[in-house]
Amino acid sequence: MKIPCRQIAEIIKKTLKSQITSLNKQAFRPKLVTFLPKSTPEQQSFVAIKKRVATEIGAEFELLEYKEPPAFDSFIAELKVKVNNQKTTGVIIQHPLPDEYDQSKMYDMVPMVKEIEGHKPDSPFFFPLSLSVLTGIKYIIMTKQKKPIDEKIIVKPHEDKSLFSSFLKNTSVVIAGRGPTGGGPIAKDFTALGVKHQVVNSKTENPDKIFLKADFIVTATGKRIIHKKNIKPGVVLLNVGLRKEKGKLRGDYDENEIEKIASYYTETPGGLGPLDVMYLYTNLLEAANLEKIMPPL
């Protein structure tokens, strides 16, 4: 069964719009500042989606895009100015970064409550893609419990911790990939929730053997690694990886090949991507709350 991520994203969007509308009436408008130091058509497309959603929900959006990657010191100086601006609620720095950028030093410059993607150690935020993956799992839980899919589908990690740990207990959860914008932070967040998992990467011996035993597989490699012969019937496939095939975006598996084998799966595009953007703005509102600059809803 295909998980209806677009429909779920619309539920989250409606909730965000309602919350921000209430805040706007109190003369408060959350603002997201986005840095794009290494501009490519693909990254421009991702940023355009974030900007469009900001307009739709009533948030403020500012983009700093560079034709050529600035020197790291110059970039850090401009970043410092923006993060110290009181009107800036949250900041994201679009990856991939120029090779010469010191990622650790860069994120050190951003206050904990404004770095809303959860890249900093001990961040109060869960990575938006982690929340997207967890939403796919929560959809399965609610469906099995025959509950309506409404605003309760929105993942609240600390409140939902026991729900996930109970449902995933005694299951085999595999995360394929360990990159800094995919499998790495997802694994970190799963650990924070107490969800036992195994990470498979390019150095893992005989990964197909691991996939064949998995009940849940989160794919985050950007390569076609899942096939009908390396998964078992009833597996759940949740994809965040992106690759291009004949000029079109695809995930880490061919949906036509696995749809009759997997019990649940997400599509690409239109799967976890739209949820990722919605949770970015969910974190933005949480940032405002943590900064104590947002009036109570």
Average pLDDT estimate for 41-59: 96
What percent of the chain lies above the pLDDT cut of 90? 92
How far is Cα 82 from Cα 90, in angstroms, rounded to an integer? Answer: 10
For the chain, give the mean pLDDT.
95
Decide: 104 and 117 in contact? Cβ < 8 Å: no
Name the nearest CA neighbour of 233 among 251, 220, 214, 246.
214
Query: What is the token pair recorded at 75?
Result: 């970039």
| Residue 227 clears pLDDT 90, i.e. is over it | yes
What percent of the chain lies above the pLDDT cut of 70? 98
How far is Cα 44 from Cα 51, in angstroms, rounded to an integer? Answer: 10
| Residue 297 clears pLDDT 60, i.e. is over it | no
Average pLDDT estimate for 54-73: 97
Q: What CATH class has 128-274?
A: alpha beta
3-state secondary structure of 282: helix
Overall residue count recorded for the chain in this entry: 297
CATH topology agreement for domains 12-115 and 128-274? yes
| Residue 296 clears pLDDT 80, i.e. is over it | no
Q: What is the reported pLDDT for 290?
A: 87
Q: What are the domain boundaries of the chain?
A: 12-115, 128-274
Q: What is the reported pLDDT for 262?
A: 98
Q: pLDDT digits over 115-125, tens only? A: 999 999 899 99
Q: What is the reported pLDDT for 291?
A: 81
Place of tokens 């799963």: 190
12-115: CATH number: 3.40.50.10860
| Residue 295 clears pLDDT 90, i.e. is over it | no
Average pLDDT estimate for 234-262: 96
